[in-house]
Structure 1
Amino acid sequence: MIKVVTSAAGGTRGAVTRSAGTLMACGVVAGPLYIVVVLLQMLTRDGFDISRHSASMLSNGDLGWIQMTTFVVSGLLFVAYAIGLARLPRPAAGRNRPWGPRLVGVFGAGMVAAAVFVADPADGFPPGTPAGAPTSMSWHGMLHLLVAQVAFLSLIAACFAFARRFAAAGSRGWAIYSRVTGGYFLASLISLVALQGARAANVAFALGIGLTLAWTSLLGVRLTRRAAR
């Protein structure tokens, strides 16, 4: 719990700070929740291979509701997290540029949209789907790709936005961590597009998602503790 401010104007500020603590907790659990559920599905869903299939394709099949629910729940948690991030005190140099929280919010909304616009089956998943890339794409499959790209790019931009914030605050280690995370995720996304179908690119991209979601969780812990001092 973030501490309550007891200054003359502390009543209102304290209430906002307490609510921010609850919202920040949403962000701490959102990434790990998504990672754990996807990992469990990777180990239990017949025919799924992370080197050939994206996690979004888990929304297909009889158990597709699990991934769709995961998208919605995780996405809403990230939206709540973004609100909490916006309520935390910011360094003076960044008070007029709250891009980090906004970008995290766009990512969360993108996750929810990814559940609505389901990715198309492909390359043998779910079982019964013809091997190889599909010869055509549905309208919801195209929209899924669109919202996914917007969400990924927003999260990458959030990494760099917070890197700038940490650099302005003198937190060099976190600035570097944020830049490296965003840089790797961007590189993996570019390789995924450039080397379509390459197994190494698929695995690198999946790793990029996992590392960046871990960053969002650790970011929440870091900023919550900092605000509580």
Structure 2
Amino acid sequence: MTTIATRAGTASAPAELTADRITKSLLGYGVLAGPVYVTASLVQGALRDGFDLSRHAWSQLAVGDGGWVQVVNLVATGLMVLAFAVGLRRALATGPGARWAPALIGVFGLSMVVAGIFPVDAGGGFPAGAVAPEVMSTSALIHFAAGGVGFPCLAAGLLVLARRLAREGFARHALAARVIAPLFLASFAAMASGAAGVGVFAAAVVAVFALIAALAVHRYRQMPNTCG
């Protein structure tokens, strides 16, 4: 195992102080993204008439009256993931995964923004009584294409980061990424194919955002002290 030195336990030099503070602030968005997205989705799911958390995907909350709330939720969460990716790139700086892990995670963030701007079609009884159109709209096609690109990129980015973590000697963080990333992607494939319900994918979404938050906190702690 090759151990890569981190800057944990040090203090930022005066010339680096502002840059390191910005990096840590950007990493903080990785902690916020998941709770914001999950909480907003669950609250809407409980309040919107006709929405069934066991049958309807959270992305369907972007249609109908009040759909703008989920649009904002998706776009805001995507921007927070992008900010985290920028912070991760700055924190990793050089070495294995320094470019690809943040870039791939950033693509996922961008895909959430696109998915928010282009919502799915109504259907499956939501909004109340809605029936899916015979031909999928262009907006829905773009929405699903965004997920089809973004979800694999997120899984790949987390696996690339896991390799870096393992080399740094953080075996538990690496293992968590290596377990959750493929399970997240498998749950998406299972939902898309009809082999599993939306509940399975929703659980995987919660797990992957919890992982992102944990990795953001971990990388934050590897940064030098910026209190001076």
1:189-228 alignment runs, 5 A limit: 189-195=188-194, 200-228=196-224
Take 1:193 and 1:63, find their aligned partners in 2: how far apart are those partners?
A: 26
1:64-143 alignment runs, 5 A limit: 64-90=67-93, 93-94=95-96, 97-130=98-131, 134-143=133-142
**Which residue identity is paired with 1:171?**
F
**Which residue identity is paired with 1:79?**
L
Measured after TM superposition, the shift of residue 161 of structure 1 is: 1.2
Measured against aligned partners, the alpha-carbon deviations of 1:30-53 in whole angstroms (never above 9, x if no partner) come to 111001101111111111123321
Q: TM-score, normalised by structure 1?
A: 0.88
Q: Please, which runs of 5 or more residues in structure 2 have no aligned partner?
A: 1-7
The aligned counterpart of 1:20 is: 23
Measured against aligned partners, the alpha-carbon deviations of 1:55-99 in whole angstroms (never above 9, x if no partner) come to 111001111010001011111111111111111145x6416x521
Q: Note the aligned Cα RMSD (angstroms).
A: 1.8
The aligned counterpart of 1:57 is: 60
Q: TM-score, normalised by structure 2?
A: 0.89
**Which residue identity is paired with 1:202?**
V
Take 1:75 and 1:225, find their aligned partners in 2: how far apart are those partners?
A: 23
Q: Using CA pairs below 8 Å that are at least 6 residues apart, which structure has the higher relative contact order?
A: 2
Identity fraction in percent: 36
**Which residue identity is paired with 2:160?**
A
The aligned counterpart of 1:5 is: 12
Take 2:197 and 2:73, find their aligned partners in 1: how far apart are those partners?
A: 24
Contact 2:51 / 2:127 at 8 angstroms: preserved in 1? yes
